[in-house]
A and B are shown apart, each in its own frame.
Chain A
Amino acid sequence: MNEMQVTAKNSLSVGNSLFVFSLNHHQVSLDDREKLALDETALVELNDAVAKLDSVAEFMCLKTCNRFELYASGLTERCVEEVWEVFRRFYSVPEQKLKEIVDSKHSAQMIQHLFEVCSGVDSQMIGETEILGQVKRSFEDSRSTGKIGGAFNRIFPKAFQAAKWVRTNTLIGQGQVSIGNVAVDLAQRIFGDLTQRKVLVIGAGEVARLTAQSLVSRSVESVTFTSRTEANAKDLADEFTASTLPFSSILKELHQFDILIASTSAPHAIIDKKSLKRAMRKRSYEPLFIIDLAMPRDIEPQAGKIAQVFLYDLDDVSGIANENLKNRTLEIEHCKQVLSARSWATWLDVMRRSMTKSLRDSIENSALPETDSSDLKR
């Protein structure tokens, strides 16, 4: 009888003690997130400590740039408190303060939170796709080390499905929101495939570096760096295994490049309309895509009027990124509604399975002595 009760309690408690402790960008500033970030050793220790708790049925830690989360499912009502006790030991902030900044969610809300995380709805960069891969990796790691049991095996795949659905059927991932990706998007609208395109980066600033990085990730044929300070261009070239060009040769070699990223701190334009027109003649008016991220501008604005020159300045690119971000933000509510319905259905499914299992276990346990006695009679 006692054994029967324990089994029933175990099964029912699966649904009751699903929870997540989340330290994320909503509650914690970047500075604080840096201070609170757990290193690899601490992470292993936390995993080991939680694994030792008898009240925990399954758990998973998720660590990304903007969040640290601990998802768990308990066998007893005390599970939440016990995990919290372990969790707080790893942070050197007063418990009250930690309680304020840790976002904890339980039961159906935990599932909805997971769905929103996977879909990029909860991300700082709304609609980003990287998070899904990170959750999947964490899930696989935890599963391979035996930390995942029955309930998470239902919930997480459902979360991945919901994320895929949201990306396909809503506008949450539409349009690029970083300058680098906006530049890639525009370049693809002009050239299509970028694998045969040559890029020249003028200047060695951070924005130019990030934009170059986005283009390199699309496998452009080559990237060349040039800067007034040759050493800076050399550093970037080393980083991207690219080549350099003397700053004085820009105008002479301009016609060889299809994409131009300019972001120097020069006080005046370094490429005028006349030089650009000459370069365009040399390249037989093949399209030239220019992103001028400098302030003041590096390219004479009139150069944009030359045929086949597609010139975008910082305002243009930022405007596009902001517009896309606005559209994504408008889509959040719609996504949350959809995810809420799906997470609720998953919650009910987990509960139903949990109750069915406990009922089956009860019947089996109560039937067992009778079977034994009948066997004895025979």
Chain B
Amino acid sequence: MNLSLYWLAFSCFAAAFVLHLYFLKNKNYLSRRFSLPIMGTGFALLTIFMYSRGSAVGACPIGNPFEIIVFIFWTSLLIYLLVALFFSVNYLGFFSAGMIAVAMVLVRLFPALDYAYGEGHINSSAIVGMHASLAVFSYGVFALLSVLGIMYLVQFYGLSKRRTGSFFTFLPSLTQLEHLQTWVLSTGLFLLTLSLFVGSFIYLYDLGEVPHYKLSFTVLVWLMYFVFLVLRLLKRLFSSKYAWSVIIGFLVALLALIPVDRARQDLAPHGESEIMG
């Protein structure tokens, strides 16, 4: 598969990140007027890349770990663009661009993740595709949530260690970041719940096709974010503990993708025609 669009998108994110760094070095921050078009171009290129992949398999391109990871970051970009369009959250673009650029390079360091697959289980029915897309979409939201968690910790560290400077001044306040985290967490959990709701039909009507270990891990991830949200709403989880929870939570959720991917491989029909890779 041609990766030129992928790398073009990467160059946009890398450029946005470097520009942010340049402004940061000059004790300033890159305005949304400049960062949004760059990030938007990267998003558009990544969308075309994903679309061309999807066209090849005739479904949402989440057939292997590489595609899943790219889809996750595509989603977090989409949410970032929506947030950035309506709210002024300084440095969210900087952190998002940095995270996505690094992730795009890292994921290509393991070409085996982009293995060939055919019209397997995911593409076998619309309901399965919808379930999987919603689940991966919620992961994208959780990725953005972890970015917000990192931003919170940076501001918190600055305040605790009496650090000053324009970087900390321009960084959103703790209260704003905490509110945004809760909003993003609610959105992610809503999407994951919707995904599980759709997935429950597969489980109910096609019991044999859902391995128990996959079900357990998925429910555990959902439960983890549900507990985070409940504790947050009850004001039992706050400040740096909340930020650490959503960051570690996202890493746990990413690890849970391993058994989920294994389940898909186990269930892939024999003799499928390889169309990717």
A residues contacting B by CB (< 8 A) are 169, 171, 174-175, 185-186, 188-192, 284-287, 307-308, 310, 312, 316, 319-320, 323-324
- Which of B2-10, B43-51, B163-171 lies on the face that meets chain A? B163-171
Instruction: Give the contacting residue for B159; candidates A190, A284, A323; CB below 8 A.
Output: A190
B residues contacting A by CB (< 8 A) are 26-27, 155, 158-159, 162, 164-166, 168-169, 171-176, 235, 238-239, 241
CB neighbours (8 Å) of B164 from chain A are: 175, 185, 320, 323-324
Chain A residue at smallest Cβ distance from B160: A310
Tell me the minimal C-beta distance from B214 to chain A in angstroms.
Answer: 38
Q: Complex formed: what's the CA distance from A323 to B169 in Å? A: 15
Q: Are the C-beta atoms of B27 and A174 separated by less than 8 Å? A: yes
Q: Complex formed: what's the CA distance from A312 to B155 in Å? A: 16
Chain A residue at smallest Cβ distance from B164: A320
Q: Are the C-beta atoms of B171 and A189 separated by less than 8 Å? A: yes
Sample of 6 more A-B contacts, CB < 8 Å, known A192-B172, A287-B175, A316-B162: A171-B27, A171-B166, A189-B159, A285-B239, A308-B238, A324-B164
Chosen A-B contacts, 20 in total, with CB atoms closer than 8 Å, are A169-B26, A174-B27, A175-B166, A185-B164, A186-B159, A189-B159, A189-B168, A190-B159, A190-B174, A191-B174, A192-B173, A192-B176, A287-B239, A307-B239, A307-B241, A308-B238, A310-B159, A320-B164, A323-B164, A324-B164
Q: Are the C-beta atoms of A192 and B162 separated by less than 8 Å? A: no
Chain A residue at smallest Cβ distance from B155: A189
Q: Complex formed: what's the CA distance from A312 to B166 in Å? A: 19
Q: Complex formed: what's the CA distance from A308 to B164 in Å? A: 19
Q: Are the C-beta atoms of B239 and A189 separated by less than 8 Å? A: no
Q: Complex formed: what's the CA distance from A213 to B199 in Å? A: 58
Q: Complex formed: what's the CA distance from A320 to B163 in Å? A: 8
Q: Are the C-beta atoms of B238 and A190 separated by less than 8 Å? A: no
Tell me the minimal C-beta distance from B256 to chain A in angstroms.
Answer: 30
State whether A175 and B165 are in contact (beta carbons under 8 Å apart), knowing that A285-B235, A307-B239 are contacts in the complex.
Answer: yes
Q: Complex formed: what's the CA distance from A320 to B238 in Å? A: 27
CB neighbours (8 Å) of A312 from chain B are: 162
Instruction: Give the contacting residue for A192; candidates B165, B168, B175, B235; CB below 8 A.
Output: B175
State whether A189 and B162 are in contact (beta carbons under 8 Å apart), knowing that A285-B238, A285-B239, A307-B239 are contacts in the complex.
Answer: no
Chain A residue at smallest Cβ distance from B240: A307
CB neighbours (8 Å) of A189 from chain B are: 155, 158-159, 168-169, 171, 173-174
Chain B residue at smallest Cβ distance from A171: B27
Q: Are the C-beta atoms of A174 and B166 separated by less than 8 Å? A: yes
CB neighbours (8 Å) of B166 from chain A are: 171, 174-175
Q: Complex formed: what's the CA distance from A104 to B173 in Å? A: 47
Q: Complex formed: what's the CA distance from A316 to B174 in Å? A: 19
Q: Are the C-beta atoms of B239 and A190 separated by less than 8 Å? A: no
Instruction: Give the contacting residue for A307; candidates B27, B169, B173, B238; CB below 8 A.
Output: B238
Q: Complex formed: what's the CA distance from A310 to B162 in Å? A: 10
Q: Complex formed: what's the CA distance from A97 to B239 in Å? A: 62
Q: Are the C-beta atoms of A190 and B235 separated by less than 8 Å? A: no
CB neighbours (8 Å) of B159 from chain A are: 186, 189-190, 310
Chain B residue at smallest Cβ distance from A187: B173
In the A-B complex, list the 8 residue pairs whose CB atoms are closest, starting with the nearest. Answer: A192-B173, A284-B235, A192-B176, A320-B164, A191-B175, A190-B174, A192-B175, A171-B27
Question: Of B165, B171, B172, which is in contact with the most chain A CB atoms at under 10 Å from its CB?
Answer: B165
CB neighbours (8 Å) of B171 from chain A are: 189
Tell me the minimal C-beta distance from A259 to chain B in angstroms.
Answer: 12
Tell me the minimal C-beta distance from A181 to chain B in angstroms.
Answer: 11
CB neighbours (8 Å) of A185 from chain B are: 164, 169
Q: Complex formed: what's the CA distance from A285 to B237 in Å? A: 10
Q: Complex formed: what's the CA distance from A189 to B163 in Å? A: 11
Q: Complex formed: what's the CA distance from A175 to B173 in Å? A: 16
State whether A188 and B173 are in contact (beta carbons under 8 Å apart), knowing that A285-B235, A307-B238, A307-B239 are contacts in the complex.
Answer: yes
Q: Are the C-beta atoms of B165 and A287 separated by less than 8 Å? A: no
Tell me the minimal C-beta distance from A50 to chain B in angstroms.
Answer: 42
Tell me the minimal C-beta distance from B100 to chain A in angstroms.
Answer: 26
Instruction: Give the contacting residue for A287; candidates B27, B158, B162, B174; CB below 8 A.
Output: B174
Tell me the minimal C-beta distance from A166 to chain B in angstroms.
Answer: 13
Q: Complex formed: what's the CA distance from A377 to B148 in Å? A: 88
CB neighbours (8 Å) of B162 from chain A are: 312, 316, 319-320
Q: Complex formed: what's the CA distance from A287 to B168 in Å? A: 18
Q: Complex formed: what's the CA distance from A196 to B72 in Å? A: 37
Tell me the minimal C-beta distance from B235 to chain A in angstroms.
Answer: 4
Tell me the minimal C-beta distance from B183 to chain A in angstroms.
Answer: 14
Chain B residue at smallest Cβ distance from A323: B164
